[in-house]
Amino acid sequence: MLSWEKIDAIPGWFTFHSYCVWRALLDHQVGIGGDMFEIGVWKGRSASVLASYRKPDEKIYLCDLRLDLPAVERAIRSVDLEPTNLVPLSGPSSDLPSKLDFQAMHDSVRWCHIDGEHTGTVVYRELEIANRIVNTDGIVVIDDFFSPRYPANTTEVIRYLEKNPFHFRLLAVGFNKGYLCRPESLPRYMDYMASGMSQALEKYGAVCTIFKTTGPWDTDAVGITKYVPDAGNIAGPDDEPQTWHMMRTRPVWGPLRHLRNGWRILTGR
């Protein structure tokens, strides 16, 4: 059975909160079919999470500059799974077009994790690859998004989104990763962010705050942080935290939250 303790025992930098976000989003994909794709695998820490969600007919593509397949297989076995349906791809992501039939893979992937070279040029090209293979309901995860160590990971993702607004939209930012989805699936994922994401995160032990500080005229992306007591589990703009402005205005605070917030304002606590 998958647990954080088992994932934490595998070498790597995949964090507890990202583990919880992934599980919440992968749970939400329960009715969605498609393969998994990871660029930047190391010892298989995050790949082991993907293996736990792989359906019997799905593949996991694993690309790393020097893929340590035995280590990845050990990692997957450590979460009580057999490492089956793996497609090992050792070498830079720039070699992928010569190794894979992207035409045959069109719309075949539901989860794509980009954690490779961390240069702007390569991140942009990897997003071009993702656009060829990720299906309508799929998610693309960008590692080190907003990281001061790797600013190009952010600038080139934003450049790609601005140049290709009908390829992907920014869905969420949290715990050093950015999450993109197709424009067609943005309303469904946003609905989940407003209704079920907080409970799903808590189920795995992460008490978080989900912020949506603007409306669809600006951006529909949310920010996910560690829990902020003044904001609660879910909050809108600073001047109207009880409401999310989506395609329709949606209250995100119940009566109890309103009373608690009113008391906090009245008492200054």
Domain borders along the chain are 4-194, 207-267
Nearest Cα residue to 97 out of 48, 123, 67, 132 = 132
* pLDDT score of 263: 67
Residue 259 confidence (pLDDT)? 75
What Rg, from alpha-carbon coordinates, does the chain have?
Answer: 19
Q: Which pLDDT belongs to residue 255?
A: 80
Would you state the pLDDT for residue 268? 60
Could you tell me the pTM of the whole model? 0.94
- CA–CA distances in Å: residue 16 to residues 3, 5, 188, 214: 10, 9, 25, 28
Could you tell me which of 152, 204, 196, 154 has the C-alpha nearest to residue 177?
A: 154
Q: Which of 97, 88, 162, 86 is nearest to 126 (CA)?
A: 97
Query: What pLDDT was estimated at residue 57?
Result: 95
- What is the CATH number that goes with domain 4-194? 3.40.50.150
Task: Give pLDDT tens digits for 231-260.
Answer: 999 999 988 999 999 888 999 987 877 777
The parts of the chain modelled with pLDDT lower than 70 are 261-265, 268-269
